[in-house]
Amino acid sequence: MACKPTRRLATSLALLALCGAASAQDLVLEDCRISAGPGHAGIKARCGTMLRPENPADPDSPDIELRVAVVPALNLNPEPDPVVPIAGGPGQGSVELYASLRGAFEPLRRSRDILLVDQRGTGESSRMDCPIDDDAILFESEFSLDDTLQFVRDCLEALPHDPRFFTTSVAVTDLEAIRLALGYSKLNLYGVSYGTRVAQHFARLYPGSTRTVVIDGVVPPQIALGPEIATESQAAVENILARCHENAACNERFPDIAATFARLVDTLQAAPVDITVPHPDTGRMEAFAFGEGEFAGAVRLLAYNPATIALLPLFIHEAGQGNWVPLGAQYLMTALQMSDALALGMHNAVMCTEDMPFLDRTTIDFAGIETSYMGSFQLEALEAMCEIWPAGPIDDEFKVPLASDLPFLLLSGDADPITPPRYADLAAVDLGNAVHLIGKHQGHGQLPVGCTSRLVADFVAAADPGFIDDQCLERSFVMPFFLDFSGPAP
C-alpha cells in the first residue's frame, strides 16, 4: 500500500529567497496582538492587510493578501526608518520569527518601529501550504521517491494561488510597496537564513530605500542551496563530536562517541528500529519504525542551536546503548514544529526557481553526500520535485554577488550546519562597507546569542560597521555538554 505524505517529507525538503507604488489609504493599521502561535503570550501591535497583485506584471491578475504588523518603538519620537525582520525557511512567516525572538529585538526597538511583513505565501499572507496527513507522520521509513512526486502533484493541485509568483524577486516588490504605503523613509533590514537572500536582493533593487542590512546565517546569491546541506551538516556533527572528545568530562562519559555515531548510521541504513515514544502533542505512546530518515531529521536540527548541540552526545550515547527514545521524541517534535512553521508551497516556489535550476553537477560532492549521515534522499527529492514544479520570475542579476557600499553586518556561527562562515565571505566579496562577525562554537542564527543583539543595535544606530566593538563576543556563553539528563557537570 502506498505511503501517505508525511510531515518529515516537508521537513526534509524545507530544512535545506514591478509594480507601481501603493497609496497610503491602501494600508490601514489597527490595534491588534501578535504571537509566536497558540499558547504564546500576545504582543501589542498595529496590524493591517495590503492587497497586492498575484502577478505584478499582469494588471488583471487576482489580488493576494499580505499581513502587515508594526510593533511601535519604545521611544515616543522614533527614528523614521524601521527595522524589518525577514524570516528564513524558506517558508517561515516574519511575524512568528519576531514573536519567537522578541527579546533579541528589544535593543533595536528602543528607537525604531519593528515592521513585520509575512512574505507572500507564508504566515497569514495568502499562505501557500501543502496538505499533510497528520496521522501519517510515523511512516517516513516507507516513503519513496515516487511517493514524493505524488505528494508534490497533490500539493500543486491544492494550492490556492499560482505558485510561480511566490519567488524572492516578486516578494521584494511587496516590501517596497508597503514601505511607501506606510511612509517610512528607508528600511533597516535584518534577514536570517533564507531571509538573508531576500535582504540582499531588496538592497540590490532598492538601494535608495535601504539604510542598513544585517544578514545572519548568510546565503550568498551565487550559491544554489541543496547539494551541500548533507556534507555541511556532516562536518558540523563531526566537529561537535570532536569537541566532546576533547572535553575531558564529555569524553569520559561518552567514550568513542564518533564511533558510536558511525555505528548508529550503519545500523539504521541496514534497517529501521521499532520504538515507542510519547507523541509531543497528545502525550499518547506511539510505536513506529525509526529509520535513517528520522535519524537525519533529529540530528540535523539538534546541530542548529548551541542549546540543543549540548544534548547531541548524550542522545547518541543513549541510542548506542539501545535507548532510541530521546532521538525518536526529538524527531517527532521537530517534524511537527517545522511542518507547522513552514509553508511548503512557498518553499518549493523558491527552491525550484532560485536553486535547483542553477546546480552545477560537476562540482557536487556526490561521494560525500552518499557517505554522510543524511544521505542523498533530500537532494534527490529536491531535484525530482523541481522537475514538475513550475519555475517563477527571477531577476537577471539575482545570482550575482551584490555590489554595494551600503552598511552591511554579516553574522555567522563557526558550528553552523547549513550556512558556514565561508558563505558570508562569498556574499561579501563585492560589499565595500561591511564587517563579518563569527561566533565561536555557535550554530545557525546569532542574534539571540550573548551580546549580539546589542552589537546589531549599535550598528543600526550608527549605520557604520566600523562602529562595532565586538570584544564582548569572546564572552558569549556556550552551553556545556549534558553528561546526563540532569544537565552539565556542576
> By the 8 A CB rule, do 176 and 151 touch?
no
Closest CA to 13 of 293, 391, 373: 293
pLDDT of 12 over the 80 cut: no
From residue 174, give the alpha-carbon distance in Å to each of 1, 59, 208: 44, 15, 16
Map out the domains of the chain as residue ranges: 1-227+340-349+374-490, 229-339
For residue 460, give the 3-state DSSP assignment: helix
pLDDT in tens, 408-429: 999 999 989 999 999 999 999 9
- 443-463 average pLDDT score: 95
**What are the residues whose beta carbons fall under 8 Å from the beta carbon of 191, sequence distance 6 or more?**
85, 86, 88, 197, 198, 199, 200, 213, 214, 215, 216
Q: Is 369 exposed, middle or buried (0-12, 13-18, 19+ CB in 10 A)?
A: buried
The cell 539538534 sits on which residue? 302
Lowest mean pLDDT, pick from 22-26, 86-90, 256-260, 417-421: 22-26
d(C-alpha 143, C-alpha 385), whole Å: 14
Beta bridge mates, 33: 44
**Upper half-sphere CA count for residue 15 (Cβ side, 13 Å):** 29
CATH class of 1-227+340-349+374-490: alpha beta
Closest CA to 86 of 269, 226, 181, 210: 210
CB atoms under 10 Å from CB of 77, counted, come to 6
- Cα angle 48, 50, 53 (rounded to 5 degrees) comes to 165
> By the 8 A CB rule, do 47 and 182 touch?
no
Average pLDDT, the chain: 90
The structure's pTM equals 0.92
Closest CA to 89 of 139, 8, 28, 14: 14
* The pLDDT of residue 232: 94
Share of the chain above pLDDT 90, in %: 76
- Cα angle 365, 369, 375 (rounded to 5 degrees) comes to 165
* The pLDDT of residue 133: 60
What is the total residue count of the chain?
Answer: 490
pLDDT in tens, 161-193: 999 999 999 999 999 999 999 999 999 999 999
Helix axes 292-302, 257-270, angle to 10 degrees: 150
Cell numbers linked to 190? 535584518
d(C-alpha 235, C-alpha 237), whole Å: 6
pLDDT in tens, 33-70: 999 887 788 999 999 999 999 999 998 999 999 999 99
d(C-alpha 248, C-alpha 270), whole Å: 33
Closest CA to 415 of 251, 234, 221, 219: 234
For residue 72, give the 3-state DSSP assignment: coil
- DSSP-assigned states of every residue in 207-238: GGGEEEEEEES---TT--SSTTHHHHHHHHHH
The DSSP letter of residue 467 is G
d(C-alpha 89, C-alpha 219), whole Å: 11
**Identity at 22, one-letter amino acid code:** A
pLDDT of 76 over the 70 cut: yes
Radius of gyration of the chain from its Cα atoms, rounded to whole angstroms: 22
Asked if the bond preceding 306 is cis, omega within 30° of 0, the reply is no
Closest CA to 461 of 105, 107, 147: 107
- 323-333 average pLDDT score: 92
Sign, Cα dihedral of 450, 455, 456, 461: positive
pLDDT in tens, 101-160: 999 999 999 999 999 999 999 999 999 998 766 544 444 445 678 888 888 999 999 999
pLDDT in tens, 351-362: 999 999 999 999
> By the 8 A CB rule, do 373 and 261 touch?
yes
Q: Is 283 left (phi over 0), alpha (psi -120 to 50) or beta?
A: left
